[in-house]
Amino acid sequence: MKKILCFTISIVLLSSIFFNVNIEKVLATSFWEGLKTTGGKIGYSSDETSLSLPGKIGKILSISTIFLAVVFLGLMIYAGFLWMLARGNEQEVEKAKNIIIYAVIGLVVVLAAYAITRVMAILWEEVKI
């Protein structure tokens, strides 16, 4: 079963390399141009050299939110491994449950902080205009 899975994954990865070589010729625009257009529509512009204070705070919070989401994912995977490898040991299971609970609480706090700052930034822009 392992050999079949490894073979299938390697075929998919190798075929994706060959099929994506000429993607620029198929598309009307280049990949990077489409990426800039999409980024501009959601608020990430590459030609902004100076941001206002709320813009800078928003970028910092956005990057830190992404980082904390990765930390949350790592904690969830770690706790899952602890739980699966506990082998019936109640202390290990309890430790894994606590890690999951605290990680979820941390994620809720981070998302609430992000939501509050997002609302404050929107209100700041409305007052400024």
Q: What is the tens place of the pLDDT at every residue in 97-129?
A: 999 999 999 999 988 988 888 888 788 777 765
* pLDDT value of residue 6: 78
User: Which residue, among 56, 80, 66, 74, has the nearest Cα to 110 in the 3D structure?
Assistant: 66
CB-based contact 79:96 (threshold 8 Å): yes
- The pLDDT value recorded for residue 51 is 66
CB 97 within 8 A of CB 70: no
What's residue 19's pLDDT? 61
Instruction: Note the pLDDT of residue 18.
Output: 62
Mean pLDDT of each 10-residue bin along the chain, 129 residues long: 80 67 58 72 64 74 86 94 92 95 93 85 74
What is the per-residue pLDDT for 82? 94
> What is the structure's pLDDT at 29?
62
- What pLDDT, on a 0 to 100 scale, did the predictor assign at position 4? 82
